[in-house]
Amino acid sequence: MKNILLIGGSHGIGLTIIEQLKESHKIYVASRSNDSLDHGNITHIPFDVTKDELDLSKLPEQIDGFVYCPGSINLKPFKMMSMDTFTEDMQLNFFCLVKVVKEIIGRMSDDSSMVFFSTVAVGTGMPFHTSVAAAKGAIEGFAKSMAAEYAPKTRVNVIAPSLVDTPLAKRLLNNDKKREAMGERHPMKRVGETSDIANIAVFLLSDKSSWMTGQIIGVDGGLSTLNVN
């Protein structure tokens, strides 16, 4: 039974990943809340990634899979973006990720896998995304360098979604008109579901992706590569 560590995971994509893995993996979830995590194979570790030190004594000596879930969506015109917003987005999305990775990298097993999250807006320039795209772009560069440095022991891949129906995106999808408009932007004519992203994350954590590392995988309803409108 593999040991999987998720930072975040009480809601949204992380929770869906857990639902898919919990029957066949030992899962450690370091997050602020313990909602919906009542299962014999799940160990919850109270943890605020922006404030707390990760309690390594609660983790196994060998970690087979790692997923970093925390993220932000701050969409505003650049002239309305404060420096504090850029700093906070970079801190949550990137620097906190690096901090945790430094703490656990020594415990990653042979043939282990790390999964990070970016955004379609890094590879496809979009207005009002300057802060989040900058922070997620840092993740993509970091992941490729880590993949090169730690191959073949640890694989490192990144999922770059478009808009997904999660609590984080609630403000953008809080009525039917908004949801329809957001869906129409995508060639697949809908926004993403958490399962769309979790399915790829679970694949990347599994041995089925054992020849994949250093990849940025777009799961975005075709938005990054197709123009059908």
Tens of pLDDT, residue by residue over 34-87, are 877 888 999 999 999 999 999 999 999 999 999 999 999 999 999 999 999 999
The pLDDT confidence band at residue 29, using thresholds 50, 70 and 90, is: very high
Concatenated DSSP letters for 143-172? HHHHHHHHTTTEEEEEEEE--B-SGGGGGG
Give the distance, in angstroms, between the CA of residue 130 and the centroid of all CA atoms in the same chain. 19
The pLDDT confidence band at residue 94, using thresholds 50, 70 and 90, is: very high
Q: How high is the pLDDT of residue 229?
A: 66
The pLDDT confidence band at residue 168, using thresholds 50, 70 and 90, is: confident
Average pLDDT, the chain: 95
Q: How high is the pLDDT of residue 123?
A: 97
Mean pLDDT throughout 103-122?
A: 98
Helix (H, G, I), strand (E, B) or coil at 31: strand
Domains in the chain with CATH codes = 3-219 (3.40.50.720)
The pLDDT confidence band at residue 172, using thresholds 50, 70 and 90, is: confident
Model pTM?
A: 0.96
Helix (H, G, I), strand (E, B) or coil at 51: coil
Q: How high is the pLDDT of residue 214?
A: 98
**Residue 222 pLDDT > 80:** yes
Instruction: Report DSSP state, residue 185.
Output: T
CA atoms of 25 and 216, how far apart (whole Å): 25
Q: How high is the pLDDT of residue 37?
A: 86
**Residue 228 pLDDT > 90:** no
Contact between 161 and 201 under an 8 Å Cβ cutoff? The reply is no
What percent of the chain stands above pLDDT 90? 87
What percent of the chain stands above pLDDT 70? 100
